[in-house]
Amino acid sequence: MTETGESWGPTVSGGRRRRGRRVLVVLLVLLLLLPVVYGVVLALVANANITRVPVDGLRVGSGPMHVLVVGSDSRAGLTEEQRRELTTGSAEGERTDTIFVLSISGGNVGILSFPRDLYVPRCDGSTGRINVAMQLGGPSCLVETVSDLSGLPISHFMSVSFLGFRDIVEAVGGVGICLDQAIQDDAAGIDLPAGCQRLSGPDALGYVRVRKIDNDLGRIERQQGFLRALAGEILSPGTLLDPVRAVRTAAEVGRALTADEDLGPVDLGRIGWGMRGLAGGGAVTATVPGTGASRGGAAVLIPDEAAAEELFAGFRDGSALGASGGGGPVDRGDVTVSVLNGAGIEGAAGTAAEELRAVGWAIGEVGNSEPGDTTRILYPPDLRAAAEQLRNDLPVAAELVEERGAGGLTLILGSDIAG
């Protein structure tokens, strides 16, 4: 006992304060770890559902992680009903309908597309279209062909089938796009009107496959734009804040993929982080350049060696990759927002414009639009992050729709603002 007769231990009130602080610290740590744990769970769910295949020639470089991603046109395993639904035709064998490398370096990400008609040396020593490499020797042949052409060390391989692509789009409830003009193509099974709309799985597949309206390069541009929109849907609050929907989507993504045997949850986590950049509009998208020519009576694309090597070098060392976005806040005053009233409520556009101006947005046109149920934000690819910020400033969960050629953001109010 001390000279004053006081106990050495803490007083009751002091002990309670310290216990309270410890509880608060534990709660803060749990809150910080929760998104990480959630992400790990989704990666594990996706990983458990992936189909595995052996792939030779994969290697880990000292720079960015490079993942070869292909859309396979194989009809194997499709029922007659599924072939009719997806308008796949009856061609046998497996070629690559889409080929791109997803490159990730820290917070930077890029997509490098390889046109399917690119005329290159292939793994068996022949020279021809790059999309036939899978048919010649499977994934290993395509990995070798792409790596030899570009000098990129391919770390992992992923393939998505027609059916898998459809199922991913269906899992997120469709993907919103805006078309400057109608697209009608019986071969792709689509008849899409001009304007903004939400594509179902089969329509989305037709949209990224259609070739008759332009050339292969135009098709690649559509695919890259659609990939941004799809990434935005997968990573949207509407998906991630609904645990049941998020787990279901992760499982569908896994089931849609065929990948190399070494691709694991950590790799999927890095890929998911890279997709944030794609959805946020910060990712670089590029296409191997070339010149149209004819070989053996077939139309091909001859690579522009000098321009292609400059592009490859930037992807190899990461200098060509764009920031993944999602980091700092958007400066609202630098972005112009046009507000259109499709809600059928008199004065709604003017009221919304004043409220947005009050929080710092620059306001452009204020007017009316065709009536609609859902509030939408139309944005060009480079303003995805601004569109996300605008959505966060709204009282309703607006749908984000990528629209190329727009000079700013367009907010179209729907009748959902009333509820």
Q: Do both 380 and 246 map to the same domain? A: no
| 302 and 227 belong to one structural domain | yes
Residues 319 and 336 in one domain: no
HSE of 262 in the Cβ direction (CA atoms, 13 Å)?
A: 11
- Structural domain includes residue 25: no
> Is the same domain home to 119 and 231?
yes
DSSP H helical ranges for 49-88 = 80-86
Q: Are 141 and 157 in contact (CB under 8 A)?
A: no
Range of weakest confidence among 6-15, 206-215, 274-283: 6-15
What gap in Å lies between CA 171 and CA 189, rounded to an integer?
A: 21
1 band by pLDDT with thresholds 50, 70 and 90: very low
Widest pairwise Cα distance in the chain:
105
Residue 14 lies in a domain: no
Q: Are residues 262 and 291 in the same domain?
A: yes
Question: pLDDT class for 401, splitting at 50, 70, 90?
Answer: confident
Q: At what angle do helices 216-234 and 265-280 cross, to 10 degrees?
A: 110
Same domain, 231 and 380: no
8 A C-beta contact, residue 294 and residue 41: no
> At a CB cut-off of 8 Å and minimum separation 6, what does 210 contact?
183, 185, 187, 188, 190, 219, 222
Contacts of 131 (CB under 8 A, 6+ apart): 95, 96, 97, 99, 116, 117
Mean pLDDT of 281-305: 88
Asked if residue 351 and residue 255 are part of one domain, the reply reads no
CA-nearest of 107, 110, 56 to 313 is: 110
The boundaries of the domain holding residue 360 are 332-418
Q: Which residues lie closer than 8 Å to 223 by C-beta, 6 or more apart?
A: 98, 113, 208
357 versus 74: the higher-pLDDT residue is 357
In the chain, what percentage of residues exceed pLDDT 90?
A: 34
Decide which of 64 and 392 is more confident. 64
Mean pLDDT, residues 310-330? 72
Predicted local distance difference test score (pLDDT) of residue 7: 41
- Residues 357, 244 share a domain: no
CA distances 398 to 122, 231, 414, Å, are 46, 16, 9
Residue 58 has pLDDT above 90, yes or no: yes
32 Cβ contact partners less than 8 Å away, ≥ 6 residues apart: none
Of 260, 289, 323, at which residue does a domain stop? 323
Residue 34 within any structural domain of the chain: no
Q: Please count the structural domains in the chain.
A: 2
End-to-end CA distance of the chain: 68
Which residues partner with 292 through β-bridges? 301
- Is 15 a domain residue? no
The reply to whether 88 and 125 lie within a common domain is yes
- Burial (0-12, 13-18, 19+ Cβ within 10 Å), 326: middle
The domain that contains 347 carries what CATH number? 3.30.70.2390
Same domain, 157 and 282: yes
Whether residues 314 and 339 fall in one domain:
no
Highest average pLDDT, of 106-110, 229-233, 276-280, comes from: 229-233
Spatial CA neighbour of 109 closest among 65, 68, 150 = 65
pLDDT reported for residue 323 = 47
Query: Among residues 36, 41, 68, 35, which one has the least CA distance to residue 263?
Result: 68
pLDDT at 221: 83
**Mean pLDDT confidence for 194-217:** 82
35 within domain boundaries? no
Q: What is the CATH number of the domain that holds 71?
A: 3.40.630.190
Q: Length of the chain, please?
A: 419
**Residue 125 within any structural domain of the chain:** yes
What is the SS3 string spanning 190-256? Answer: EEECCEEEEECHHHHHHHHHCCCCCCHHHHHHHHHHHHHHHHHHHCCHHHHCCHHHHHHHHHHHHHH
Burial tier of 36 (Cβ tally within 10 Å: 0-12, 13-18, 19+):
exposed
Check residue 5 and give its pLDDT. Answer: 46
**Which residues face 341 on adjacent strands?**
368, 413
**Quick check: is 43 in a domain?**
no
The tens digit of pLDDT for each residue in 2-25 reads 444 444 344 445 555 556 566 666
**What would the pLDDT profile of 325-365 be if each residue is shown by its tens digit?**
444 456 788 888 999 999 989 899 999 999 898 888 889 88
Residue 204 sits in the same domain as residue 80? yes
Question: In b/e form, how buried is each residue of 250-274, taking b as 16+ CB within 10 angstroms?
Answer: bbbbbbbbbbbeebebebbbbbbbb
Distance, CA of 303 to CA of 100 (rounded, Å) = 15
Instruction: Strands of 60-107 (E only): list them.
Output: 65-72, 96-105
Domain boundary pick from 285, 303, 323: 323
pLDDT of residue 16: 55
Taking the CA atoms of 151, 132, 202 and 268 in sequence, report the sign of the dihedral they define. Answer: negative
Q: Is residue 29 part of a domain?
A: no
Which residue, of 323, 347, 380, is where some domain finishes?
A: 323
Q: What's CA 302's distance to the chain center, in Å?
A: 29
